[in-house]
Structure 1
Amino acid sequence: MTPILVGLDIGGTSVKAVAVSPGDPTGPALAEVRHRTEPGESGIRAGITAAVHSLAAEVGPDAEVAGIGVGIPGFVSRGAVSHAVNLGLGAEPLDLLPTLRSLTSGPVGVENDVNTAALGAGGWVARHDPGVDDYALLNIGTGLAAGLVLDGRLRAGATGMAGEIGHLVFDRSGPTCPCGQTGCLELYASGSGMRRTWSGTARQLLDAAAAGDPVAVRTAADLTAGIAHAITLLAYAPDVALILVTGGVVSRNPALRRAVTARLDHDDHTVVGRAVPVGDRVRWLPEDVAVGTRGAALLVAEGVRV
């Protein structure tokens, strides 16, 4: 038999899956597949089952699923997920553990997708910043959230909310957030926040701001300041050695990365900034680094430190 660990990254549009060797979970992939996401309880369960079976078939007839880890958006507690709007899940928790246990007799695990991405980024960190085992992964996409790896271990927190900085208040005079608060950071430092006042992409926003469009100038300033604030929060609160920044809003936008870097460099010239600089701790994670599926597999890899 060929034992495999399976990592699943369930997103709003696709279910990505990887099979790795239990003896070398950070090594080469044995197989990778991608399926279209079908929202809702039955669709998610069916998607997991189909992806696991597809991976096993890719590996070969002697494949044996030795463990399954899942990264999924939303609130995750003890294997159940809720409030994953893009997946058609509301407040009623969906327990994924029975589905996973029907597919393997080995260990299973479910975690928030940003947390699993943080875990999966460990291989990239090891190659580019050897010896670092304290870092945060800041994901700037439709929303805003971070995952924390401290002393080489994923830190989800006492309630699973570690790194959920999107709903910290950034501007008390700002607009009302869907969460019910006023001026949340996610309203500024995310794709959905940008679209409050701008209908195009982040790249188009920066181009229009450079051309002097007043709406674009204000929106770009808010976006830049919000992202820089999120990075600084992660540098000062858990005091991690590195902040990895990823997500569609920044990954495809060199101009935005330059603007955020300039803002951080400016702040690093303050009294506090000179004492504890933030800018040199930032790493822009390349878009093609598959951290989600790898992190999900690592959830069930025995004794693994990133």
Structure 2
Amino acid sequence: MKVLVTGSSSHLACALLPRLAAHPDVEQILGVDLRPPVFRDPRYTHVLCDVRSAQLARLMTGIDAVVHLAFVVMHGELGPERHDRDLIRDINLAGGQNVFRTAAAARVAAVVHLSSAAVYELPARERPIPEAHPRKPLPGFAYAEDKIALEDWLDAFEREHREIRVARLRPHVIVGPHAQPYLRALVRAPFYVRLSDPAPRLQVVHEADVVAAILAALTRDVSGAFNLAAADAATLRELKPLALPLPFPLARAVVRLGWRFGRGTEPAWLEGLRHELVLDTSRARRRLGWRPRYDTAAGCIKAIDEEG
């Protein structure tokens, strides 16, 4: 199997590519990213390419499957352009559409798309949330807006291209040694954000378990959406019992100030902590045979500390 990976220098790709190269069914990997390679292997070729580029059509020739990771997540690597909403939307939406269109033109058999649990409408009446739950972004959450816009577009694309098998993975917050720097810093900080009682519960998922789901989606005859999260849910206080409480208004002010002056991430990520988001992962366990190695939120957090 020849696999093309977009966003091949992304945080998650650092965890995915070694596992992909070690898979017995994978003969060749083609990485596509605007940044230099983060992985080297005899079966791996890295191409500097924008996912919006017409060059992508040529790269798709002979490819059996695509893993679409390319997406602007926390804007930290965009520098002065991190506040350019039109640019970010174009990368995320037009780039994603180009990936799927060129895959269809090249007769690629399968595409595994990394979506997100951020697509779900909150607050949720259903708990845990199944894949059929309505999609609606939190106000001002650009990341969720673009994930939803691409999924909405994919609904029509899949109806028109039934010959392509599309699997949409919707992981909760991804933690691990290659997680977003902001998330790693938050996990290791000596404080936790204190929320109003009853404090909402949250889930996370370890990057190794997301990689396992990607590999399963590549090699099994499955399609549709799949939630990914550690089985249990916990409050921030339960996850960091020895940490000091930081009042939410103060945390909000700090994040907003940092965002304004080019540090940290967009404030909507923090606002999302105020809403309980617990996923039903039974479909992934049933259809993908997914058995997460890190199956508790506390276990995922502990793993980050142990991995340094």
Instruction: Please indicate the TM-score interval, normalised by the length of the shorter structure.
Output: 0.3 to 0.5
TM-score (norm 1): 0.35
Give the TM-score normalised by the residue count of structure 2. Answer: 0.34
Higher strand share goes to which structure? Answer: 1
* Max Rg structure: 1
